[in-house]
Structures are given as C-alpha cells and as structure tokens.
Amino acid sequence: MTTNKKNWLLISMFVFLVILIFVFVSYIYQYKKKQISGCIDDAAIEKINKELAIINKSPDNEKLNKSNYPQAVGIYCENGKKLIKDFYCDDLCPDYNAIYLLFEGSAGVDDCKKFDGHVVRGGWGIIGCSPLAQDSN
C-alpha cells in the first residue's frame, strides 16, 4: 500500500471514530434524560410560574398559609434536581409574601451557577434559585 493510501485510510478511520463517539455521547445524553421519568420540562415550569403569579397577587397572597410549604413539585428534566414551591415573606408580613418555584437546597448565586438556574431575589436578598427566570414579588 502506498503512503497516500495509508494516510487516507488513517484519516477515514479517524473521522469514522469521531462520528461514532459523537453518536454514542448523544445517545447516552438522551438516555439519561429519559431515565428521569415524569420529570418537569420548561413548558410545565412556565405553567406553574403563571399559576404562582396569580396566587401571589394581592389580596390573594394574604390567604397563603406558610405551614403548607415547602411542597415537593418534582424533578427538573434538564439537571435532575428536585423542585419545590416555597413560601417567602418580606419585611411586611403577611402583606408582602409569595410562593416561589425553586431548586431544593438552593441558597445563593453559586448554587444557581451549579444548577444552571436563575437567581430569585426578594426584598431581603436572594430567596433561592429557579429553573426559569420568574418575577419576584
């Protein structure tokens, strides 16, 4: 075999191997996403946020019972992290309170970076981290 044919063969094998690795990684990624059965996607998150926006409007928010929270919501499809609805009250309780959709255990900017989420701020600072941007109270 000539050197040109050997080089062509090596390049072809390399390209084939790169494509094979790409297909394998893509398959594994999709498989992992499917492993989280019943997970919550962005469309469901937007629906929940719209519902919370209605609940959080005054005067309805004065009827919120802090003892009912936090509530487990489910698992976020994109990162496998648990989502909760949690009660937050600013300085003038119960006038300025709301329910937020947050990653469980998220407390600051570093958590949001780790969870690939959005910081949710209240009157007294960071409330937690949400999968999608949402309005604060």
Q: How far is CA 74 from CA 35, 44, 59, 85, in A?
A: 14, 11, 28, 10
Q: What size, in residues, is the chain?
A: 137
pTM, to two decimals: 0.65
Residue ranges in the chain modelled with pLDDT below 70: 1, 28-37, 58, 60-61, 91, 94-95, 133-137
Residue 84: what pLDDT? 92
Residue 135 lies in a domain: no
Same domain, 57 and 29: no
Same domain, 57 and 107: yes
pLDDT tens for 119-132 read: 888 777 788 888 87
- The two tokens of residue 31 are 């498989």
Domain residue limits at 28: 1-35
Residue 136 lies in a domain: no
Q: Kindly report the CA angle at 124 between 100 and 56, in degrees rounded to 5?
A: 30
Residue 56 lies in a domain: yes
Same domain, 31 and 60: no
Residue 136: what pLDDT? 47
